[in-house]
Amino acid sequence: MISTRKLDFDFKGKTAIVTGAASGMGKLTSERFAECGANVVLTDVNPEAVEAAAAEIRANGGNAIGLVVDVRDFEQIEAAKNKTIETYGSIDILVNCAGGASVRVNKIKEPFKDFPLWALDWGLDVNLKGPIYFTRSVIGQMIEQKSGVIIYLGSIAGAEGGSGASCDYSTAKAGLMYGATKSIAQYGAPYGIRCNCVSPGPVLTREAMGKMSTLLNRAAEPIEIVNLITYLCSDEASFITGSNYMIDGGRVCMPKRSYADMQK
């Protein structure tokens, strides 16, 4: 059975910043935060889409603003941090959803041996440096508040590699899943700050993901991932920090047999 029930948590009085909030899991996470009472700051590099996503939340009765932020630009990140504090007075949650494989987003056709260097830089900057920049920006405020939650989005690619064309993406995601999550959890713990990583397998934010294999023989509905993100941000997850959660329909433990063969 596939459950798409939206899990409710109490985020009243909390303020969450979400990156990559104009679409996919970032947008759904923002909506869920707002529905659970949080003030939400949606940030994305896409100006029209991020404002539309924030306006939709407001139209449904939630508190939200949309800000244009390229996670590669520390000045824009700092401006978003300042605007968040000015508007809502605190930063309690940061969810780093912005990301994507450079080969797909930038439509790179060349094999890895000829992969344009700018496209490699894009993949590493957006997927790895961006979340670390954002953390570096907001963690001072969380330290002052003596509480906070930071979530990274890893990927199955960080655990299994992405072959040549997705080398930048899989390397960046592995960096978040292991190095960044543990480092920030260690640094933040004395100040009541928790940090965890959610690493999905294929998710149906794009139809093409439905073609990837998993042990459960399907891709995830976005809400199946977003329920885990919101849980980890909630006080119910108060003893969880420094962990990476694979949520991949069992893809990491796929036997080297076909799905059909497993039924025999």
Ligand X SMILES: NC(=O)c1ccc[n+]([C@@H]2O[C@H](COP(=O)([O-])OP(=O)(O)OC[C@H]3O[C@@H](n4cnc5c(N)ncnc54)[C@H](O)[C@@H]3O)[C@@H](O)[C@H]2O)c1
Give the sign of the dihedral formed by CA 8, CA 210, CA 254, CA 112: negative
Q: How far apart are CA 154 and CA 223, in angstroms?
A: 16
Strand runs labelled E in 52-186: 63-68, 93-96, 148-153
Tell which one of 66, 148, 175, 202 touches ligand X (CB under 6 A): 202
Q: Is 169 a catalytic residue?
A: yes
- Give the shortest CB-253-to-ligand X separation in angstroms: 17
Binding-site string for ligand X from residue 210 to residue 249, where x marks contact by CB under 6 A and - marks none: ----------------------------------------
Find the largest Cα–Cα distance for the chain.
61
**Restricting to residues 49-108, which ones interact with ligand X according to CB under 6 A?**
69-72, 97-100
Stretch that binds ligand X, among 5-13, 32-40, 141-149, 200-208 (CB under 6 A): 200-208
- Give the shortest CB-157-to-ligand X separation in angstroms: 7
4 burial via Cβ count (<10 Å: 0-12, 13-18, 19+): exposed
Q: Residue 233 in 3-state DSSP?
A: helix
Binding-site string for ligand X from residue 106 to residue 135, where x marks contact by CB under 6 A and - marks none: --------------------x---------
Give the sign of the dihedral formed by CA 143, CA 189, CA 33, CA 42: positive
Q: Which residue is nearest to ligand X (CB)?
A: 24
- Give the shortest CB-121-to-ligand X separation in angstroms: 12
Q: How far apart are CA 76 and CA 34, in angstroms?
A: 23
Q: Is 162 in the site for ligand X (CB under 6 A)?
A: no
Per rule CB under 6 A, count of chain residues that contact ligand X: 27
Q: Is 153 in the site for ligand X (CB under 6 A)?
A: yes
Find the catalytic residue in 88, 133, 152, 169: 169
Q: How far apart are CA 133 and CA 125, in angstroms?
A: 10
> In the 3-class helix/strand/coil scheme, how is 201-232 assigned residue by residue?
CCECCCHHHHHCCCCCCCCECHHHHHHHHHHH
Residue nearer to ligand X on the CB measure, 100 or 242:
100
**Restricting to residues 16-45, which ones interact with ligand X according to CB under 6 A?**
19-20, 22-26, 44-45
Q: Which residues bind ligand X (CB under 6 A)?
A: 19-20, 22-26, 44-46, 69-72, 97-100, 126, 153, 155, 200, 202-203, 205-206, 209
Tell me which residues are annotated as active site: 169
